[in-house]
């Protein structure tokens, strides 16, 4: 039975009026399209540590090695420790979530290029929000993104895919870790991983072949790190074409010469950008219905979310 992943999200992105100026940063993509896929767990760390609405804004000061969160108008008002401690506590409480969507540019929640000031008006460098850093350090495998980046079709597709994979891994752990389940997880994700990173695909295969020589908990930790890091790498038309050709190879004894040539032409057209990914996949699914293969039926690659590129 499929379950819906829980996703942490900055409260302001859901339309909650928790910003320093009493407003929100509502994102329709998050509350409409993505809401069908997730159950949200909203968090506003600044409200949680007692900063009211409206309030004087905070910003980061310091350098790339150490930052402090201080009141923009009065640097003696320092909430660094409160944000860090809340982030550590919240990371423990949210051990069940399968992803997080953060507010960009926020001194508490931003992931990338958060401004760090060495004077009230001079930006020295950029870093990460203090709360977001605690969440990520506590669980480096957790798929995370900012609301600005998920507007990009490709970045959104990659994020959704990583959330789904990580959610399936969490369900595997919750149902009881065993070697058979890990091998099955690997088998069903092989082509998906190959579309992102051939090195991770090959190394994970070598690991699975030696699974009996590991303590299972140690193996599982090393294995899922390899998989999740591999999935972060962008899947390109070239990599997808390689996977599509692998799948087409399963039908080499059933297809005649003309069908094989048509399949190859369609894959080539996709690789050259003339047609979207869904065209060769649809043809392969047609052949799969005609020539059933349990192995291919179980591949998540053929059912994954993917933009038409």
How confident is the model at residue 126, as a pLDDT? 84
pLDDT for 183-220, tens place per residue?
999 999 999 999 999 999 999 999 999 999 989 999 99
- Distance (Å, whole) CA 42 – CA 7: 8
pLDDT in tens, 265-282: 999 999 999 999 999 999
pLDDT at residue number 309: 34
299 falls in which pLDDT band (50, 70, 90)? very high
Residue-range domain boundaries for the chain? 6-151, 153-232, 237-303
Q: What is the pLDDT of residue 305?
A: 56
Which residue is it, tokens 């994102």? 27
Residue 37 near residue 5, CB atoms below 8 Å? yes
Q: How far apart are CA 57 and CA 73, in angstroms?
A: 8
Tally the residues of the chain: 309
DSSP letters spanning 149-213: GGGSHHHHHHHHHHHHHHHHHHHHHHH---HHHHHHHHHHHHHHHHTT-HHHHHHHHHHHHTGGG
| Distance of alpha carbon 304 from alpha carbon 307, whole angstroms | 10
Do 85 and 45 meet the contact criterion of CB atoms below 8 Å apart? Answer: no
The mean predicted confidence, pLDDT, of the chain is 94
Sheet holding 67-71, edge to edge: 67-71, 58-62, 114-119, 122-127
**Contact assessment for residue 8 and residue 101, using Cβ atoms and an 8 Å cutoff:** yes
Q: pLDDT at residue 1 above 80?
A: no
Taking only the tens place, the pLDDT of each residue in 107-166 is 999 999 999 998 766 787 789 999 999 999 999 999 999 999 999 999 999 999 999 999
User: Helix or strand or coil: residue 31?
Assistant: helix
Query: For residue 131, which phi and psi values (nearest 5 degrees)?
Result: -70, -45
For residue range 74-96, what is the model confidence (pLDDT) as tens digits? 989 999 999 999 999 999 999 99
Report pLDDT for 65.
84
| Cis-peptide into 278, omega within 30 deg | no
Pair of tokens at residue 278? 């869904």
What is the C-alpha separation between 31 and 188, in angstroms, rounded? 31
Residue 85: other Cβ atoms inside 10 A = 12
Task: Decide: 76 and 103 in contact? Cβ < 8 Å.
Answer: no
Answer yes or no: are the C-beta atoms of 41 and 76 closer than 8 Å.
no
Q: How many CB atoms lie within 10 A of CB 222?
A: 12
pLDDT at res. 204: 97
Residues 282, 290 contacting (CB under 8 angstroms): no
- Whether residue 46 is predicted with pLDDT greater than 80 in this model: the reply is yes
Which pLDDT score is estimated for 308? 40
Q: Is the pLDDT of residue 307 over 50?
A: no
Name the 3-class secondary structure at 62. strand
Quick one: average pLDDT of 25-40?
95
């Amino acid at each position: 039975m499929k379950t819906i992943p829980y996703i942490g999200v900055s409260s302001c992105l859901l339309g909650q009026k928790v910003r320093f100026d009493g407003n929100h940063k509502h994102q329709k993509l998050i509350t409409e399209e993505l809401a069908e896929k997730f159950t949200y767990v909203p968090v506003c760390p600044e409200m949680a540590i007692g900063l009211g609405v409206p309030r004087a804004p905070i910003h980061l000061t310091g350098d790339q090695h150490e930052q402090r969160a201080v009141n923009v108008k009065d640097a003696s008002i320092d909430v660094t420790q409160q944000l860090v401690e809340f982030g550590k506590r919240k990371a423990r409480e949210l051990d069940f979530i399968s992803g997080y969507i953060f507010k960009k540019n926020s001194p508490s929640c931003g992931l990338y290029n958060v401004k760090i000031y060495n004077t009230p008006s001079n930006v020295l460098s950029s870093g990460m929000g203090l709360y977001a850093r605690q969440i990520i350090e506590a669980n480096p495998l957790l798929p995370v993104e900012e609301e600005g980046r998920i507007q990009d079709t490709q970045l959104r597709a990659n994020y959704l895919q990583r959330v789904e994979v990580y959610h399936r891994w969490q369900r595997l752990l919750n149902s009881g870790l065993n070697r058979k389940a890990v091998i099955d997880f690997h088998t069903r994700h092989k082509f998906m991983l190959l579309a992102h990173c051939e090195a991770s695909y090959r190394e994970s295969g070598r690991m699975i072949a030696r699974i009996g020589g590991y303590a299972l908990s140690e193996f599982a930790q090393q294995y899922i790190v390899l998989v999740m890091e591999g999935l972060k790498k962008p899947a390109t038309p070239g990599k997808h074409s390689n996977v599509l050709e692998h799948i087409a190879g399963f039908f080499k004894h059933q297809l005649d010469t003309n069908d094989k040539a048509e399949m190859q032409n369609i894959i080539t057209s996709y690789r050259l950008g003339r047609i979207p990914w869904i065209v060769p996949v649809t043809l392969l699914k047609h052949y799969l219905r005609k020539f059933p293969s349990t192995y291919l039926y179980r591949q998540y690659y053929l059912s994954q979310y993917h933009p038409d590129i």
